[in-house]
Chains A and B, each alone.
Chain A
């Protein structure tokens, strides 16, 4: 019993322990407490700092562009060689400047949602296989492998997607897939050479699988053994036990893990930038080039620095603010959901 609570790192029990040990603090203890308290507010402070900087940097763009920022589909710094400027709502920009990011919103949502829809069933199925079917001697090394996968740098995913996976899948799988184009026009050929929306989504899928799968594995280990044994004793098969006992038990946790995986896919920059083609458009078919919010910021900031009115940089800040808002909302939702089920399961950061 006590071993179990130690392994789970039970935080509530920790709190009780702390209160029990309210002995006198020496002067050094007080110094340690003060110093560590300052460190303790750094993460919260950083979060506030990031939010404030983004809002302040985005403000001129918000004033200049208004709501058309979200609906327009042209992104243009304007005439970089102009000697005059235009003013709107008290903010100046270059003549002919236009900032509408609809294509990026579409690209970001499309890639991350496709990745999510593919990654969740694959992760849950694979995790079920690992924990319910495969003997531990083989399953344990495989779950270590899953952790390794979580640590592979995103630029390596990008390199693999561009040089290995993209060309392969465009030559061997996409032509067959384009047959669906007879039913759903969005799948119509041409399939391209392997850089585009679908390839980026597939690589994102591979990238978020470790997050969802390793969380699911932890959840599966927490399913009470008595309930499972009870189901088996009633004469249920392994499949029926999984369906009636195991999956319902972990369902909420999977929702939370999916939200975290989604947040990760939304914010992924380098891999997507390398693979998606980084073209500013809503693609004509699912194989076409597009871009995402994160990729566009990374690839355009250099050019935006040429805009002497600064509006280009501010527009990218508004994009960043939009991305920040979306991913914090998904992240927050995931953590609130999981808080109701069981604390401490969700990985922080990359899920390593």
Chain B
């Protein structure tokens, strides 16, 4: 009897500790979101969109436009290469080649972001004499999120139901036709959600951009000029004294966070829809 009770006590302690663990996961996360927003909301003023980041001026125009320009360029570069690479791994590559390429792509994802920034600095900024530039920043960010796009694209193609492929083969469709007419429609939501989530990651990065894109307090003005972005404003302004600069830091952090969280929620919504879509097609 006492043994039984002891095991009850042990179970209670175990689940109690698990509950504490869950609290320790949720509480800091909530605190981050709430405290950043609480400090950012009072300073989210229209001037953020009309003024540039100079001195203690409450403006983020250059940084917001710069972040959007960076994101679009990254989407074009990493999106094109990543989706094609994912398509190759899922549909064309011989098994051994596919598993090797997949493995190295995943390892690439483990390269620390500051190392990517350093390589961008050495090879592009200095090596190719691009100086600090939008293009160097775009390429560094692209290298960082490429593996993610490759993986989500490959997964999207390989989770298309088998029945659809068999139908396409039975109808005698060529490989290209099968990809275009049969595989892409159900795979598309998965690919798009991967791109959106990759964009969320790239929006939040700072380290790879510090020594490639550097910073500019003017609006983006060309591929070979430096460009401003939101995370840099938070990173530098929080280290400066004074209430005014701190306010700019919080505003930038708030805007970045809202951007990123919105992208993640949109991405998740698309993923959920694509899963339902695929499940319905599966016979």
| Contact surface of A with B, Cβ cutoff 8 Å | 2-3, 6-7, 9-11, 13-15, 17-18, 20-21, 23-26, 28-29, 32-33, 35-44, 46-47, 49-50, 53-54, 57, 121-126, 128-130, 133-134, 142, 144-149, 151-160, 162-165, 206, 209, 213, 237-240, 242-243, 260, 263, 266-270, 274, 294, 297-298, 301, 313, 316-317, 320, 323-324, 327-328, 330-332, 335, 344, 346, 348-350, 352
Contact = CB atoms under 8 A, between A and B. Distances in A.
Closest 6 CB pairs of A and B: A267-B112, A153-B204, A125-B21, A331-B110, A239-B11, A39-B84
Contact of B101 (A43, A57, A213, A298): A43
B169 A20 contact: yes
A320 B159 contact: no
Contacts of A2: 161-163, 282-283
Contact of A43 (B22, B108, B176): B108
B184 to A, nearest CB: 12
B240 interface: no
B84 A36 contact: yes
A164 B37 CA distance: 12
A213 B260 CA distance: 20
A313 B127 CA distance: 13
Contacts of A129: 15, 18-19, 21-22
B203 A153 contact: yes
B15 A37 contact: no
A239 B178 contact: no
B89 interface: yes
B115 A267 contact: yes
A325 to B, nearest CB: 10
Interface stretch (B44-52, B55-63, B148-156, B217-225): B148-156
A7 B159 contact: yes
17 contacts: A9-B158, A15-B98, A20-B165, A32-B179, A43-B101, A44-B108, A46-B143, A54-B115, A125-B21, A129-B18, A151-B261, A154-B204, A163-B238, A274-B235, A324-B112, A349-B145, A352-B264
Nearest to B275: A7
B204 A151 contact: yes
Given A15-B95, A209-B25, A155 B85 contact: no
B245 interface: no
B192 interface: no
Contacts of B29: 145, 148-149, 152, 206
A269 B24 CA distance: 23
B35 A43 contact: no
Given A155-B253, A239-B15, A40 B85 contact: yes
Interface in B236-283: 238-239, 246, 249-250, 253, 256-257, 260-261, 263-265, 267-268, 275, 278-279, 282-283
A21 B84 contact: no
Given A44-B101, A155-B253, A50 B115 contact: yes
Among B28, B98, B104, B231, chain A packs the most CB atoms within 10 A around the CB of B28
A165 B176 CA distance: 55
Contacts of A46: 108, 143, 146
A349 B143 CA distance: 11
Name the residue in B123, B162, B175, B268 with the highest tally of chain A Cβ atoms < 10 Å from its Cβ. Answer: B175
A336 to B, nearest CB: 9
B32 A160 contact: yes
Contact of B253 (A159, A263, A320): A159
Contact of A57 (B81, B122, B168, B176): B122
Given A36-B92, A53-B123, A240-B11, 20 more contacts: A2-B283, A6-B278, A21-B175, A43-B108, A47-B104, A50-B111, A122-B24, A133-B15, A142-B22, A156-B32, A159-B234, A159-B249, A163-B39, A165-B28, A239-B11, A266-B112, A269-B114, A320-B118, A327-B112, A328-B107
Of B18, B200, B239, most buried by chain A (CB within 10 Å of CB) is B18
Contacts of B15: 129, 133, 238-239
Given A32-B179, A151-B260, A324-B111, A125 B22 contact: yes
Interface centre among B32, B110, B249 (most CB of A within 10 A): B110
A9 B155 contact: yes
